[in-house]
């Protein structure tokens, strides 16, 4: 369960999903302060995507999408220059209800949004997982890797990992995050890949640094 308020880390090209790990390089003074405060508290940060067209306002408080994902700092390394290398593990989606901008960094009042999966949905999600594996097998084989997805990996973890790490546009990832439930997210992911005549050879993208 999420706390009522969490610090926000808005970025123009990163979307975090539940149960997925995300490495980040944090160097701006206000976000160094945010990480320091988080490490002294519940180690939680809310990742949100900067709304398209407002990238030039990044130094201020540009608008962000209302749905984000809270992450827990599982590893933090403070560098000699004061910057941090951190790893976040996605915990839970949230909706922003309001903001406190009296600090150097933004803090949001949030409500948690759980991706509940009913038993009746699991069979359909399993079929969608099989379709995703079939769509991704050719480019992965082309790259010389084993196209088989880890069978022991839970459906939820696999679908969220694909949504985060496949070579998609940030706005496409945001749309996937905002889907109501895992069944809807996996179906949308299948549609996204089927719409592409050719899945890019580099199916997996390396997380960026910020």
Query: Which tens digit of pLDDT belongs to each residue from 1-57?
Result: 899 999 999 999 999 999 999 999 999 999 999 999 999 999 999 999 999 876 666
What's the pLDDT score for residue 62? 85
| More confident position, 13 or 152 | 13
As a whole number of angstroms, the distance between CA 210 and CA 94 comes to 22
Q: 115: pLDDT confidence band, cut at 50, 70 and 90?
A: confident
As a whole number of angstroms, the distance between CA 65 and CA 176 comes to 13
Judged against a pLDDT cut of 60, whether residue 207 lies above it is answered with: no
CB distance 109 to 42 below 8 Å: no
Chain-centroid distance of CA 36 in Å reads: 21
Contacts of 121 (CB under 8 A, 6+ apart): 181, 182, 183
Judged against a pLDDT cut of 70, whether residue 118 lies above it is answered with: yes
Ordered structural domains, the chain, with CATH:
5-113 (2.30.130.40), 119-195 (no CATH)
Helix axes 155-165, 119-142, angle to 10 degrees: 50
What's the pLDDT score for residue 150? 64
């Amino acid at each position: 369960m999420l706390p009522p308020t969490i610090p926000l880390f808005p970025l123009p090209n990163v979307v975090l999903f539940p149960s997925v790990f995300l490495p980040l390089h944090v160097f701006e003074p206000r976000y160094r302060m945010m990480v320091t405060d988080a490490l002294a508290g519940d180690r939680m940060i809310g990742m949100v995507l900067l709304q398209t067209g407002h990238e030039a306002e990044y130094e201020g408080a540009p608008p962000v999408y209302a749905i984000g994902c809270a992450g827990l700092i599982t590893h933090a390394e403070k560098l000699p220059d004061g910057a941090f290398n951190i790893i976040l593990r996605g915990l839970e989606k949230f909706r922003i209800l309001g903001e406190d901008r009296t600090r150097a960094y933004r803090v949001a009042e949030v409500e948690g949004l759980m991706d509940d999966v009913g038993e009746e949905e699991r069979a359909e999600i399993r079929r969608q997982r099989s379709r995703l594996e079939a769509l991704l097998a050719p480019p992965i084989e082309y790259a010389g890797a084993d196209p088989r997805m880890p069978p022991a990996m839970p459906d939820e973890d696999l679908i969220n990992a694909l949504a985060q790490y496949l070579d998609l546009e940030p706005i496409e990832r945001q749309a996937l995050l905002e889907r109501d439930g895992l069944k809807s997210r996996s179906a949308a992911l299948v549609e996204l890949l089927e719409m592409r005549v050719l899945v890019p050879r580099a199916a997996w993208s390396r997380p960026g640094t910020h």
